[in-house]
Structure 1
Amino acid sequence: MYWLVALMSVAILGLIVSGLYLEWRPRFVTSIRGWYKPALGTQLVVFVGAQLALLILGINDVLASPETAGAAAEGLKEMSTGMGLAIIGAGIPTGLSTIGAGIAVGPIGAASLAAITEKPENLGRTLIYLGLAEGIAIYGLVISILLLNKI
């Protein structure tokens, strides 16, 4: 199992080192273009394959772990697979709504700056539009809180 983690780490380090090398020496971009894209594709395939292998091979280690005596002694709620999936499901609305709000705020903010430079009296309107776009993230947070109360 450790060899999969090492394989993933080498793939990530290879991507980071090659990215830094090309950032510091941009003139080599044209000379290595022929082999660089296939190499990145290979590293990506190795990384995704290692993640899937960790998921398949590592799930038994996680599910077969013994219950800790400290948690049972303190009277804490037992964490099961279903409870873990429920908590992940409660966090998904916050994550997705935050991504949606980021996608919405970017163009609205750029357009707001352009509108304010032309007519500064439009500041209030543009803030309302930005607030509406940011409200998407707040709605997702509220849904996540409501789902956590049901768990």
Structure 2
Amino acid sequence: MYLLIGVMTLGIVGLIVAGILMEMRPARTGQRWFKPTIVGNLLLFVVAQAALIFIGAQEVMAAPAVAESGGEISIGMGLAIIGIGIPTALSTIAAGIAVGPIGAASLAVLAEKPEIFGRTLVYLGLAEGIAIYGLVMSILLLDKI
């Protein structure tokens, strides 16, 4: 397992070094070595990540069942908690996507008409409400388990 973590680290370090070389010498980025290096390092990282996930899943499945009184979380409970967190994650991403253009448009409008500041705040609040709805859903779902 430590070998796979080392391989993943090596892949990331290779990507960082290639990026630094690209920034230091942008005229030479058209060389033939650059694209295969990036692809090779990404492939190395992804394969090591997949192997690490596979080995970790095998270890979890092979582990003996632990008594519930020990405070351990079962696989089902862990998956339920991840499922409860998904609405918050997706709604937060959606709110971020919504707030970006609305905020930019609000600033553009405020440059021309500063008197409509209150309306732009309402629009931004509606966009942020998406994240609040996801948080409320997660809290309600968390109450069910």
TM-score after normalising by structure 2: 0.88
**Among candidates 26, 30, 48, match of residue 29 of structure 1:** 26
Q: Matches of 1:17 and 1:72 in 2, distance apart?
A: 48
Q: Matches of 2:85 and 2:127 in 1, distance apart?
A: 20
Instruction: Please provide the CA RMSD for this pair.
Output: 2.0
Which residue matches 1:42? Answer: 40
**Among candidates 92, 99, 110, match of residue 98 of structure 1:** 92
- Whether the aligned pair in 1 keeps the contact of 2:18 and 2:38 (CA below 8 Å) is no
Q: What is the correspondence of 1:118-137 to structure 2 with a 5 Å cutoff? A: 118-137=112-131
Say whether residues 1:61 and 2:59 are aligned partners.
yes
Say whether residues 1:18 and 2:18 are aligned partners.
yes
Which residue matches 2:9? Answer: 9
Q: Matches of 1:103 and 1:22 in 2, distance apart?
A: 30
Q: Per-residue deviation at 1:110?
A: 0.7
Cα shift readout 1:88-133 (whole Å, capped 9, x = no counterpart): 0000111111111111111111110010011001111111111111
Structure 2 gaps of 5+ residues are none
More moved, 50-59 vs 82-91: 50-59
**Among candidates 131, 136, 146, match of residue 140 of structure 2:** 146
Partner SS state of residue 16, structure 2: helix
Q: Matches of 1:13 and 1:94 in 2, distance apart?
A: 32
**Among candidates 98, 113, 124, match of residue 107 of structure 2:** 113
Structure 1 gaps of 5+ residues are none
Same amino acid, percent of matched pairs: 60
Point out 4+ residue stretches in structure 1 off by more than 6 angstroms. none
Cα shift readout 1:39-65 (whole Å, capped 9, x = no counterpart): 112211221111111111221223334
Q: Per-residue deviation at 1:67?
A: 6.3
TM-score after normalising by structure 1: 0.85
